[in-house]
Amino acid sequence: MGELLMVISGHSRRRGFTLLELMMVVAIVSALFTVASPLLRQANRMFILTRTRIQLQQEARGVMYIITRNLRQAQSDTIKISRVNANQPFYSKISFTKVQGGDALVFQQEGNNLYQVLGGAKRPLSANLQYLAFTFPRSDDMGIISVSLTLQQNIYEGRTKALHMASEKVRVMN
């Protein structure tokens, strides 16, 4: 008897959604995805860019620390600036002997790689090297050396992030 009263009064127990309600939900969700998709892509790009910048900074600082620490211990009369071969940039190789003696220590660029060579053992310092230069900033003082390097890494869609770091005056202690 209760069901008959509900049907007569126009109230029925309806389960599910109407087509209009379903279309409205689909329209709202698609509008949200249309707005959110570029925002998520941009946030992802910023994350990648920031992560790459931090990695390049850490790598550049580490490389510069190793090079300058060793250069300070060099014998100034043993320093030779050159290049590995004709395919490499000028001033992309430095060799010297430390004050304590021993084998010559070499820092050199080979393509996009930076190596430290000591006693025939070649140790990679970076695989992201784009540019490396060792120069004497003053012609009257061979005890001061400038070191410049640029590291570069691919990020997304064929784009790259580069970081240039220079130590203008590394004073050789001896």
Residue 174: Cβ within 10 Å count: 12
pLDDT of residue 33: 86
DSSP E strand boundaries for the chain: 80-82, 93-96, 105-110, 113-118, 121-126, 129-135, 144-154, 160-171
**Residue in the block written with tokens 């959110």:** 36
Q: According to the model, what pLDDT value does residue 148 have?
A: 94
Q: Convert the pLDDT of each residue in 93-130 to its tens digit.
A: 999 999 888 889 999 999 999 999 998 899 999 999 99
- Burial, 56: exposed, middle or buried (Cβ in 10 Å; 0-12, 13-18, 19+)? buried
Q: Structure pTM?
A: 0.76
Calpha distance 30→17 (Å, rounded): 18
At 149, list the tokens: 């390097």
For tokens 């080979």, name the residue.
Answer: 110
User: What are the helix (H) ranges across 73-100?
Assistant: none
Residues with pLDDT less than 70, the chain:
1-14, 174
